[in-house]
Structure 1
Amino acid sequence: MNRVVHPIEQESFRRLRARLDTSHFPPLTRAVVERVVHSSADLDYASDLVMDEGELARAHTALHAGAPVVVDVEMVAAGITRRETVCRLKDAESGPGLTRSAHAMRLAYEQVGPGALWVIGCAPTALEELLTLDASPALVIGLPVGFVGAAESKAALRESGLPAVSNVSEKGGSAVAAAALNALLYHTVSPEENL
C-alpha cells in the first residue's frame, strides 16, 4: 500500500530542501536526515547525526522483512505510524541501580530476542541498558534527549560498534527517534540503491 503524502508535508519538505542541501547524502542517510530535520525544524541535525549507509540498508531490509521494533516509551510508539511496536515500560519496575526504562529494555529483549530494531528517544538509561544486553540488533536508533547521560550514552552506542543512528549533542527526543524509524519505513529502495 502506497503512502499518501499530504500537501502540507510536501510543501514542508520543499522548504526544507530549499534551506538545506541534502543531495550529497546517500539515499537512506538522506531520508533519515530529512525526516529528523522535518520533525524538529532543526537544520543542525544534518551535521549532528551519525549513521552508516550500509547499516541503514541492512536495517531497512530487516524492517521490511518484519523484524520487531522496540521503543523505550509510548511517545516514540505514537510517532511510528505504520508499524506495531513493543514497549514494556508499563510492565517495568525500578530497583537499586535499575531505572524503569532500563528494566523495560530487559523485558523487551526477553520478549523479542535478537535482530530487532530498537528506537530510544527518551531515556539514556534505556540505551545504556541495551548496550549491556546481547541483543544483536538490526539497528539501534539511539536519540535520547537530556543534560544527564544523553550525550554520553550516545557516545557509548557509537563506540559499541552496533549498527546505529545517533547524534553527538544532548538533543534528541521521542519525535526525532520516531522520525528516524519512519524514514526507513517510508523509503522505497530502487534497484540501484541495493547494497
Structure 2
Amino acid sequence: MIDWPEFERDPRAIERESFRQIRALTDLSRFNDDEAQVAMRLVHTCGDPAMASSVRLSADAVTRGLEALSRRASVLCDVEMVRFGLTQRYMDALGLEAHCFLRRDSTVERARAHGMTRTMAAIEDWLEHLEGSIVLIGNAPTALFHLLEKLRDGAPRPALIIAMPVGFVGAAESKAHLWAAQDALGLEIMTLLGRSGGSALTAAAFNALLRVHQGERY
C-alpha cells in the first residue's frame, strides 16, 4: 500500500517558501535588489541555484526595461513558446501585447527564398516595431545573430534585449557575441551565458520585470 505524502496546496505559500529557499541557496551578492528579482525568477524556473552564476545583466537593463513597460513598449518574441510564457494578467494590467511573426506567410516565404531559418526571416517584420521595444529571444540563436547584424547596420535600437537561446549549435556563441557587442551597439541586455537557456527562462526574466513594475518582490 502506498503511503501518500502530505504536500503544500496554497500557491502563495509555495511561492513564498520557494523564494525563501532560493535566497538561502543562491549567491546574489553581485546583483542589486531589482536585478536579484530577475536572477531569482530564473533560478525558480530552472530549479538550479548555481545557474545564477551564468546570468549577465547590463548596467541599466532593469531600469530600461521598467521604463519600457511604463511606455507600453512593443514586446517582440522569436517563438510562440516565449509569447505564451508571459504572465497575461500583468500584460493586461499594463495594456501590453506580445508579437510573434513566425507563422506569417511572408515569413515562411522569405525563409524559403533566402535559405534562412524562419526566426531569422521574422526579424524583417520586427523592424517597424523595434525602436524602444523589448525583444525576447528564447529559442533561436540564428534570430539573435541576425538581429545583431541588423543593429550593426543601423536598425532602430530596442530598449532591452532579453536573449537566452538554448542549444548546441550557435546558442553559446550568439549570447557571448551579444554580451561582447553590447557597448559598441548601445544595447541594454539580459542573457545567460553557455548552452543553457530556453523559452521558459526568457519568459521568466520578462515576467520578473512585470512583477517588479507592479511592486511584487520576494
Q: Which of 133, 138, 143 is the aligned partner of 1:116?
A: 133
Q: Which letter maps to 2:209?
A: L
| Structure 2: distance between partners of 1:189 and 1:74 | 24
CA deviations 1:2-58 (Å, max 9, x no partner) are xxx722211211121221242552022101100111011121221101112423212
| Structure 2: distance between partners of 1:130 and 1:39 | 26
Residue aligned with 2:136, SS: strand
CA deviations 1:88-122 (Å, max 9, x no partner) are 01112223342100111221223x13110000000
Q: Which of 21, 25, 41 is the aligned partner of 1:19?
A: 25
RMSD: 1.8
Q: 1:12 to 1:23 in 2, by over 3 A?
A: same
CA deviations 1:127-157 (Å, max 9, x no partner) are 1111122130101001000000001111111
Match of 2:50 in 1: 44
- Contact 1:72/1:126 (8 A) holds in 2: yes
- Contact 2:54/2:193 (8 A) holds in 1: yes
Normalising by structure 2, we get a TM-score of 0.79
Q: Which of 201, 205, 209 is the aligned partner of 1:176?
A: 201
Match of 1:75 in 2: 81
Structure 2: state its 5+ residue gaps: 1-10, 92-96
Question: For residues 61-72 of structure 1, what are the structure 2 equivalents within 5 Å?
Answer: 61-72=67-78
Residue aligned with 2:98, SS: coil
Identity level (%): 42
Q: Which of 102, 105, 122 is the aligned partner of 2:120?
A: 102
CA deviations 1:41-94 (Å, max 9, x no partner) are 121221101112423212211122211111111111111113220100111222
Higher-helix-fraction structure = 2
- Contact 2:27/2:52 (8 A) holds in 1: no
Match of 1:90 in 2: 103
Q: Which letter maps to 1:182?
A: N
Residue aligned with 1:58, SS: helix
* Deviation, structure 1 residue 123: 0.5
Question: For residues 96-175 of structure 1, what are the structure 2 equivalents within 5 Å?
Answer: 96-110=114-128, 112-133=129-150, 134-161=155-182, 162-175=187-200
Q: Which letter maps to 2:130?
A: G
- Contact 2:163/2:175 (8 A) holds in 1: yes
| Structure 1: distance between partners of 2:15 and 2:79 | 25
Structure 1: state its 5+ residue gaps: 191-195
| Structure 1: distance between partners of 2:81 and 2:75 | 14
Normalising by structure 1, we get a TM-score of 0.88
- Contact 1:28/1:53 (8 A) holds in 2: no
